[in-house]
Amino acid sequence: MEGWNYKILDIDLSAKTITEQPLDEGIARHFLGGRGLGVRLLWDLVGPDVEPLSPENVLIFSTGPLTASGSQTSNRFNVSAKSPLTGGVLHANSGGWWGMQLKRTGYDALIVRGKADEPVWIEITTDGATIKDAAHLWGKGVFETTELLGQDNNKRNVLCIGPAGEYLSLMAAIMNDRERALARGGPGAVMGSKNLKAIVVAGKQKKNQSADREQFKFMLYETGKLLKASPLTSQAFPEFGTSVVMNLINEIGALPTRNFQESQFEHAEKISGEHLAETILVKNQACWACPITCTRISKTEAGEGEGPEFETAWSFGAQCGVDDLEAIFEANMVCNDMGMDTISVGNTIGCAMELAERGLIEGDLRFGRADLLMGIVGDIALRRGLGAEMADGSYRFADKYGAPELSMTGKKLELPAYDPRGMQGQGLVYATGNRGACHETGNMLGPEVLAIPRLIDRFANQGKAGIVANHQDTAAVVDSLVLCKFTNMVVSVEFFARTLSAVNGSNFTADDLMKVGERTWNMERLYNLREGFTKADDTLPKRLLEEPVAEGPSQGHTVRLEGMLEEYYQFRGWDEDGVPKQKKLIELGLDAMVD
């Protein structure tokens, strides 16, 4: 293999057919793989007439040209579909080992379409694929399913859904390698709607070989030096995990607290990475081909497992007014076993707590009730009691009780752990995100907080549009290669281009890759526009736009979005309604996509 296998596996569960199709070389070069390839295929396969939970929706699992090459963090893969939570484009990626194994079966991507008559699971090897009965697995949690199907890192890897996906929760995740997650936007519900419980991959091909092995070894060495030289990737993440930023975000007044009513949590230290290391941490762990080892393996009386990551510690912690790290970890374990997005679930619980405190719903949910976390997470997964209503996400839940403004969402996707009133650029990232309000598609943590590559005024709103767009395009590049964004915090796109050139044998420049990122971003925008999204959807919750932070370092600030959004459309080459102009489409080779 030299980057691509040029093969896509296509499985129709309704027709019970398994076929192969070629990956067009032009599409491969223009979209690379992962997220870019996913949205390009989705455009052709799923139109605006398709309901997200119907058999006509598809799941597209895609690797990238660096996957399984041995390059740092070349373990990740992507899933694309139409989102049942937002109604727009869904893309999510995950690490671990499963993506590497899919690539080693000889395929660049897997398309799953249709719906099986009864629960099934799929096995993919280098000899092909088979569809198998999953009656004995339906209803089981992720942990048991993974064990029963023979998870064995580097040999046989399991991807599956838990009960949340079976019950079609719009916050359901797809889990791989037991506790890795394709989480945002409800991909687990799409998989559950197809009666598909699991996909097992066992590849025997040699790792993705490089066309220029000496150049590849050189790039591996140089990239390794950068990762070792950075205190972030060589010390902070390995020692304290992603929650190393908890205290910092809280200190600057950008840690959303009690459903974004405040921007500082008085007990942030108790849910921080430092406190985790002192209390429940067992060891750290890495994904395949990753030197960073940011994963936490923790343990309480309830069990042992991965987490909590920063976003999870925040969502079940500050967002819910909870300072009990053990309770947060145990809620995280239930989420993983049930197969759910911890960001959306914790955010929705925080929303419910505010609704309860305002007397809009009945029950005992209140901010700070750590003792209720595990129970309500289980109720959401199994659609029991109030959890049945919460399972569709905070927007639909709050709207049902007459208070949609209490849902902290963008395009109906729950916001992550950064209050944009303390990070103006992050507000623009959330508002313009194609899959909804998400930090992973252009996080401004680097320039607005960590001084990577340089520090900019986090309260300024002028001049942010170009920086945000560049971060979004870069994130799309990384998601299409598919690599970990922590690598990109210290390794430039120039390095990725040189590594890809060594693997593939042709010349890719940094400009080539950035054009792929911009093309992918605009392709996603076109998809959402076709689905009926408009400029009105590029917004934030009313609270963030109109309610100034009451106290702390971000006191008095709201998100001043309007000016940034106008500047952003201009920078993108879009018209005043946020529609890409013909000139931009021609420049990106996307003009044939629209009439």
Q: Is residue 343 part of a domain?
A: yes
Q: Calculate the alpha carbon distances from 271 to 293, 336, 375, 378 in Å.
A: 20, 19, 20, 22
Q: Is residue 2 part of a domain?
A: no
User: pLDDT tier at 66 (50, 70, 90 boundaries)?
Assistant: very high
pLDDT tens for 352-395 read: 999 999 999 999 999 999 999 999 999 999 999 999 999 999 99
62 φ/ψ angles, rounded to the nearest 5 degrees: -135, 140
pLDDT of residue 594: 86
Same domain, 346 and 453: no
Among 230, 205, 300, which residue's Cα sits nearest to residue 72?
230
Same domain, 18 and 76: yes
| 198 token code pair | 């699991």
The region, left, alpha or beta by phi > 0 then psi within -120 to 50, assigned to residue 112 is beta
Same domain, 43 and 81: yes
pTM of the model: 0.98
Same domain, 538 and 444: yes
pLDDT tens for 530-548 read: 999 999 999 999 999 999 9
β-partners of residue 121 are 132, 198
pLDDT of residue 207: 66
Cis peptide bond upstream of 482, omega within 30:
yes
Q: Any idea what the CATH number is for the domain that residue 54 is in?
A: 3.60.9.10
The region, left, alpha or beta by phi > 0 then psi within -120 to 50, assigned to residue 184 is beta
Q: Is residue 415 part of a domain?
A: no
Same domain, 25 and 113: yes
Q: Calculate the alpha carbon distances from 64 to 29, 67, 155, 355 in Å.
A: 11, 5, 20, 43
Q: Calculate the alpha carbon distances from 36 to 42, 90, 108 in Å.
A: 10, 12, 13
Among 93, 169, 164, 144, which residue's Cα sits nearest to residue 339?
164
Q: With a cut of 70, say whether residue 526 has pLDDT above it.
A: yes
pLDDT tens for 307-354 read: 999 999 999 999 999 999 999 999 999 999 999 999 999 999 999 999
421-443 mean pLDDT: 97
Q: Is residue 234 part of a domain?
A: no
Instruction: Check: CB of residue 320 under 8 Å from CB of residue 373.
Output: yes
Cβ-Cβ contacts under 8 Å for 202 (sequence gap 6 or more): 101, 105, 123, 124, 125, 126, 155, 156, 157
What are the CB-based long-range contacts (under 8 Å, 24+) for 14-23? 14/55, 14/113, 14/114, 14/115, 14/116, 15/114, 16/131, 18/128, 18/129, 18/130, 18/131, 20/107, 23/108, 23/109
Instruction: Annotate 215-271 with DSSP letters as a single string.
Output: HHHHHHHHHHHHHHH-HIIIIIHHHH-GGGGHHHHHHTT---BTTTTBS--TTGGGG
255: containing domain: 241-407
- CB burial class (10 A; 0-12, 13-18, 19+) of residue 302? middle
Hey, which bits of 391-520 come out as E strands? 409-410, 413-414
Same domain, 274 and 134: no
Q: Any idea what the CATH number is for the domain that residue 257 is in?
A: 1.10.569.10
Side-chain half-sphere exposure of 484, counting CA atoms within 13 A: 25
Among 538, 532, 494, which residue's Cα sits nearest to residue 513?
494
**Helices (DSSP H) in 303-442: which residue ranges?**
310-316, 325-338, 342-357, 373-382, 386-390, 394-400, 424-432
User: pLDDT tier at 563 (50, 70, 90 boundaries)?
Assistant: very high
Q: Is residue 217 part of a domain?
A: no
Q: With a cut of 80, say whether residue 104 has pLDDT above it.
A: yes
pLDDT of residue 2: 85
Same domain, 455 and 392: no
| 41 token code pair | 């295929």
Tokens 């390698």 -> residue:
177
Residue that terminates a domain, selected from 407, 440, 459? 407
93-122 mean pLDDT: 97
pLDDT tens for 469-521 read: 999 999 999 999 999 999 999 999 999 999 999 999 999 999 999 999 999 99
Instruction: Check: CB of residue 162 under 8 Å from CB of residue 142.
Output: yes
Same domain, 398 and 314: yes
Among 183, 153, 195, 404, which residue's Cα sits nearest to residue 286?
153
Same domain, 533 and 479: yes
Measured distance CA(536)–CA(259) in Å, rounded: 23
pLDDT tens for 189-219 read: 999 999 999 999 999 877 667 899 999 999 9
Q: Is residue 221 part of a domain?
A: no
Same domain, 384 and 469: no
Q: In which element (H, E) is residue 475 found? A: helix 464-481
pLDDT of residue 1: 53
